Amino acid sequence: VQAYVGEITPEGSEGYSMGLFNLSMFSSLSLGPLFGGVIKDVWSMDAAFASMGVLSVVGLILCLVFLPPLSEEVIRSRERAPVTWPVLIRNKSLLGLFSFRLAYTACIGVIWCFLPLYADRQFSLSSSATGLLVMLGVFVSGVLHLPMGWISDRASKYILVGSGGVICVIGMLLLTLAQTYNDLLFAVVVFGIGGGISMPSIMALAVIKGEEAGAMASVMSVLTVAHSLGMLAGSMAAGVLMDFINLRFAFPFAMAIMVLGTGVFLWIGPAAAARED
């Protein structure tokens, strides 16, 4: 899906287009659990799962109605021979994007998996308060994707990614230092702001790289691997820290990963892009 969006994106509006696409994804991630809880409370758990099936069918119908036939698709990269995988995975610009995406999703994995446990142990929060805590950061990030995507098309994408990464680091630091529920809320909002600033530019750079390489699907699959690997590695490593040291150490661990990912991106990304130009 991301490759399809990237291929039909007009040149010069990569940030806005990917921001709009990610807005739908992050909004759904934040509002889906809320609506699912309401449906379960009003009707039943079966109704919540049935509603997922209904929404999937609606999505399929919308695709069939609004997406053009294959013969009418306008795809710019089709005219060029795609770059081979060995060349692609050695590309330093793509390595920078991979590193940042992996670090960011590792932090998300830690927040989603261990923040509810930490909040329950430290503050004995209700389920609704914990749900709000997890949802808020995703919602804030999603809301920012569209305006920051628009800005990304008009400003330095590398500066936006770097500043967003620094804000994400601050958010994880605030989670480490949090003493109250309000502190936790503020920390996840800060982290969400960082993600909302950086991710549209990351995806815009990925679209540009996919166009240059003539391998949009391959580039997007690399970033999808980074996303999945980050969620897996972040959650598992934080789980080991929880079992053998202390749950609270999961957050500084995630902060260190975010520092590393942002540093790698800023170290090799702009320089590699300049050499390729």
Domain spans in the chain, listed from the N-terminal domain onward: 13-78+85-276
pTM listed for this prediction: 0.83
Closest CA to 106 of 192, 233, 207: 233
- pLDDT, tens digit, for every residue of 13-58? 788 888 888 888 777 877 777 787 778 778 888 888 999 999 999 9
The token pair that represents 5 in the structure block: 């969006």
Q: What is the Cα–Cα distance from 245 to 222, expressed in whole angstroms?
A: 33
Helix ranges (H only) for the chain are 2-8, 14-42, 45-66, 85-89, 92-123, 127-152, 157-177, 181-213, 216-244, 250-276
Question: How confident is the model over 157-184, as pLDDT tens digits?
Answer: 999 999 999 999 999 999 999 888 899 9
What is the architecture of the domain spanning 13-78+85-276? Up-down Bundle (1.20)
pLDDT tens digits for range 70-96: 666 655 555 556 666 666 777 788 899
Tell me if 113 sits within 8 A of 241, measured CB to CB. no
Contacts of 223 (CB under 8 A, 6+ apart): 2, 97, 98, 101, 202, 203, 206
Count of Cβ atoms closer than 10 Å to residue 188 Cβ: 26
Q: Which amino acid would we find at residue 213? A: A
SS3 assignment, position 214? coil
pLDDT at residue number 43:
86
Number of Cβ atoms within 10 Å of the Cβ of 79: 7
